[in-house]
Amino acid sequence: MSHKIQTLGEFIIENQDSFKYSSGELSRLINSIRLAAKVVNHEVNKAGLVDVIGAYGETNIQGEDQQKLDVYANDKFIQTLTKRNIVCGIASEEEDSFITINSQDEKNQNKYVVLIDPLDGSSNIDVNVSVGTIFSIYRRITPVGTPVQLADFLQRGSEQVAAGYVVYGTSTMLVYTTGAGVNGFTLNPAIGTFYLSHPKMQFPEDGTIYSVNEGNYFDFPEGIKKYIKYCQEEEDDRPYTSRYIGSLVSDFHRNMIKGGIYLYPKGSRNPSGKLRLLYECNPIAFIAEQANGKSSDGYTRTLEVVPTALHQRVPFICGSKNMVDTVEAFMQKFGE
């Protein structure tokens, strides 16, 4: 007898009661993200056939050139989350400030805010490299029924109630956690349904892959330089394999399945780091920890960093526990 494969919708309903704030809102929120992801996936898969690739002609708050699909994905996720009236605020990597939803509606009892990187790795879309969406969900800390405030978004990563990503690749997957492990769902494009394909995802404690842009080697802290040389030495199970796609979601997804580490340290050109704490590092770190992995800036656990700005950047080291421990040991010994 064949075993029935569980859909994402069925999984959400079945596991709703295990969520400590169970009220149905979070389930509807995850479902909304699922819907927007399917729409964006459809557009990504048309790249090259219609006019959706290339630069949009503007820069975002990060000072980066916006791609057409950046703008499209940003609009679709904001529209979907706004129209369904399930969140009280949204912050996007592509927006200057956060968006308040239904701020004038005294009956608005929505409790969640969403922070999102609508299309991570979008500069790779022209060459058909996998891109993704990263999302992070918090319960607001200001009074329900009032307009959201910046404080609702500037919470430590340890306060996340859910986080996830969608990778648009050879197959499209949605991976997420609500603090009770990590599960991955693959989209069946024929019928538009996500099915549970990767239950209880776990990082191997050790790995043999290191992911870093070695073109920036001379800009890295001394501890990171020493670690890269360590990865390349012929000893024990080394040298490790170097794999770097340049799309955080894709690099992280591979490393979680196969065992590895992702490094984007600070440097003289990026003295505070390059990746965004709220849109990239916190959600990926939450997923990593729920999957038996680890994340830090080389010294401090990522989820304990206190945010000070909406678009704050930090150094980011994430992956298999033992590999991250080794990097931290190198940073302690050799420092900057």
Q: What is the CATH number of the domain that holds 244?
A: 3.40.190.80
Q: Are residues 239 and 174 in the same domain?
A: no
Give the residue numbers spanning the domain of 110: 8-198
Q: Are residues 217 and 145 in the same domain?
A: no
pLDDT at res. 1: 39
Q: Are residues 217 and 71 in the same domain?
A: no
Q: Are residues 132 and 216 in the same domain?
A: no
pLDDT at res. 50: 44
Q: Are residues 249 and 299 in the same domain?
A: yes
Q: Are residues 194 and 234 in the same domain?
A: no
pLDDT at res. 269: 86
The verdict on residue 2 lying in a domain is no
Q: Are residues 188 and 40 in the same domain?
A: yes
Q: Are residues 44 and 128 in the same domain?
A: yes
Q: Are residues 24 and 81 in the same domain?
A: yes
pLDDT at res. 52: 45
Q: Are residues 15 and 164 in the same domain?
A: yes
Residues annotated in a binding site for substrate: 120-123, 213, 244, 262-264, 274
pLDDT at res. 277: 98
- Low-confidence stretches of the chain (pLDDT < 70) are 1-3, 18-23, 46-67, 103-108, 125-126
* Mean pLDDT, the chain, whole residue set: 88
The verdict on residue 1 lying in a domain is no
Q: Are residues 183 and 238 in the same domain?
A: no
The verdict on residue 3 lying in a domain is no
Which among 148, 168, 198 is the end of a domain?
A: 198
Residues annotated in a binding site: 93, 117, 119-123, 213, 244, 262-264, 274, 280
Q: Are residues 81 and 176 in the same domain?
A: yes
What is the number of structural domains in the chain?
Answer: 2
The verdict on residue 204 lying in a domain is no
pLDDT at res. 280: 97
Which among 165, 198, 231 is the end of a domain?
A: 198
For the chain, the three-class secondary structure string (H helix, E strand, C coil) is CCCCCCEHHHHHHHHHHHCCCCCCHHHHHHHHHHHHHHHHHHHHCCECCECCCCEEEEECCCCCEEEHHHHHHHHHHHHHHHHCCCCCEEEECCCCCCEECCCCCCCCCCCEEEEEEEEECHHHHHHCCCEEEEEEEEECCCCCCCCCCHHHHCCCHHHCCEEEEEEECCCEEEEEECCCCEEEEEEECCCCEEEEEECCCCCCCCCCEEECCHHHHHHCCHHHHHHHHHHHCCCCCCCCEECCCCCHHHHHHHHHHHCEEEEECCCCCCCCCCEEHHHHHHHHHHHHHHCCEEEECCCCEHHHCCCCCCCCEECEEEEEHHHHHHHHHHHHHHCC
Q: What CATH number is given to the structural domain containing 16?
A: 3.30.540.10
pLDDT at res. 22: 56
pTM of this structure: 0.92
* Identity of the amino acid at 295: S
Residue 255 near residue 319, CB atoms below 8 Å: yes
